């Protein structure tokens, strides 16, 4: 479904991503792991056209999307939920959800999807008319995910969905992602929370200092003591 090849991202003299290639197949859940500053956000930003000076090839469903605008990429079916639970703080929950569907023209479909996600995220129904700024961190993250889903992505990319959330809330977020997976959604998830991510993902990539240092199944990564220890600061199984 997604094939990013030979991606390079530089910020002036800083080489944030160096010749990294990753792929995501339809229906797969892929984790992108690595220490702070490894280049994970830069890599996924390059894929969705948000990093201006990226080099490399990005193909989605067979089409070269490298030169497309962010909006055109969203219309093709890739949506990124950025790090930091970015919601429109001064808009209500309902307005945030409708904005997620800004690229759609099917009014009834949008109304049906709002209903679908309010059923899936009951806390958002309870807070439907509240300003997003009044929500807790976990609720804002759920809103950020639900808003991304409103564009009907084929591939949902999530940048650190569990960042800064209490363990109980992290579990809730992963439960929701598991439901979405059961619906057949393809996902690429950037995570610091390695154990949760590997329990959830089919495959994983590890980047460190801008380079790809591991590609394999989640089970292979868990069994790879060296990678787990050297790059993720954890013991393998
Ligand atoms: P984190 O988990 O901390 O978000 P990351 O793996 O997502 O890290 P990036 O955010 O992609 O890593 O950062 C990779 C490198 O590029 C880091 O050295 C970072 O300081 C640098 N960097 C990222 N964005 C910019 C920018 N806009 N301008 C300059 N340097 C940047």
pLDDT band at 95, cuts 50/70/90? very high
pLDDT confidence of 233, banded at 50, 70, 90? confident
In a domain, 189, yes or no: yes
pLDDT bracket for residue 186 (50, 70, 90): very high
Query: Would you say residue 128 lies in a domain?
Result: no
The three-state secondary structure class of 105 is coil
37 lines ligand 1 (CB under 6 A): yes
Mutational test site, ligand 1, from 10, 41, 208, max ligand atoms within 8 Å of CB:
41
**Nearest residue by C-alpha to atom 31 in ligand 1:** 11
Domain residues for the domain of 183 are: 2-85+153-232
pTM (two decimals): 0.91
Ligand 1 pocket mutation, candidates 39, 51, 232, criterion most atoms within 8 A of CB: 39
Helix spans in the chain (H): 40-47, 70-76, 93-100, 107-120, 122-126, 137-149, 167-182, 194-200, 218-223, 225-232
**CATH number of the domain encompassing residue 55:** 3.40.50.300
Has residue 145 been placed in a domain? Answer: no
Pick the atom of ligand 1 nearest to 38's CA. 6
Does residue 199 lie within any of the structural domains?
yes
- Report the domain count for the chain: 1
- For residue 220, pLDDT over 80 is answered with yes
| Model confidence at 218: pLDDT above 80 | yes
Q: How crowded is residue 208: how many other Cβ atoms within 10 Å of its Cβ?
A: 18
Q: Is 237's pLDDT higher than 80?
A: no
Residue 57 lies in a domain: yes
Q: Nearest CA to 109 among 119, 122, 98?
A: 98
For residues 94 and 162, give the distance between their C-alpha atoms in angstroms, rounded to a whole number: 23
Q: Whose CA is nearest to atom 14 of ligand 1?
A: 39
pLDDT band at 234 (very low <50, low <70, confident <90, very high): confident
Domain for residue 166, yes or no?
yes
**How many angstroms is it from 212 CA to the middle of ligand 1?**
15
Is 124 part of any domain? Answer: no
CA dihedral 156, 162, 167, 171 (to 10 degrees): 0
**Cβ of residue 33 lying under 6 Å from some atom of ligand 1:** no
User: Is residue 85 predicted with pLDDT exceeding 90?
Assistant: no
Name the DSSP class of 82.
-
DSSP state for residue 193 in the 8-state scheme: -
Which of 100-114, 122-136, 196-210, 223-237 has the weakest average pLDDT? 223-237
37 within a domain of the structure (yes/no): yes
Q: Take atom 30 of ligand 1 and give the residue whose Cα is closest.
A: 11
Tell me how far the alpha carbon of residue 151 is from its chain's centroid.
14
| Residue 160, pLDDT above cutoff 70 | yes
**Of the candidates 62, 28, 21, the residue with the CA atom closest to the CA atom of residue 205:** 21
Q: Classify burial at 65, counting beta carbons within 10 Å of its beta carbon; exposed 0-12, middle 13-18, buried 19 or more.
A: buried
Q: Is ligand 1 within 6 A of the CB of residue 137?
A: no
C-beta of 41 in contact with ligand 1 (< 6 A)? yes
On the question of pLDDT at 236 being above 70, the answer is no
Nearest CA to ligand 1 atom 18: 37
């Amino acid at each position: 479904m997604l094939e990013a090849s030979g991606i390079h991202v530089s910020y002036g003299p800083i080489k944030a991503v160096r010749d990294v290639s990753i792929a995501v197949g339809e229906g797969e859940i892929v984790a992108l792991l690595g220490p702070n500053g490894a280049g994970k956000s830069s890599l996924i930003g390059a894929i969705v056209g948000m990093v201006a000076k990226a080099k490399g090839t990005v193909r989605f469903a067979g089409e070269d999307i490298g030169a497309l605008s962010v909006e055109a990429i969203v219309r093709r079916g890739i949506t990124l939920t950025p790090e930091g639970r970015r919601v429109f703080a001064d808009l209500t929950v309902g307005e945030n959800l409708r904005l997620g569907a800004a690229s759609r023209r099917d009014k009834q479909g949008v109304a049906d999807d709002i209903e679908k996600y309010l059923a899936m995220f009951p806390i958002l129904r309870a807070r439907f008319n509240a300003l997003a700024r009044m929500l807790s961190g976990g609720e804002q993250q759920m809103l950020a995910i639900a808003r991304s889903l409103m564009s009907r992505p084929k591939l949902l990319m999530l940048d650190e969905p569990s960042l800064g959330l209490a363990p109980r809330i992290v579990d809730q977020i992963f439960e929701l992602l598991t439901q979405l997976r059961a619906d057949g959604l393809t996902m690429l998830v950037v995570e610091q929370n390695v154990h949760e991510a590997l329990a959830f993902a089919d495959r994983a990539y590890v980047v460190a200092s801008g380079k790809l240092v591991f590609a394999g199944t989640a089970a292979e990564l868990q069994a790879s003591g060296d990678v787990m220890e050297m790059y993720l600061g954890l013991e393998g199984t």
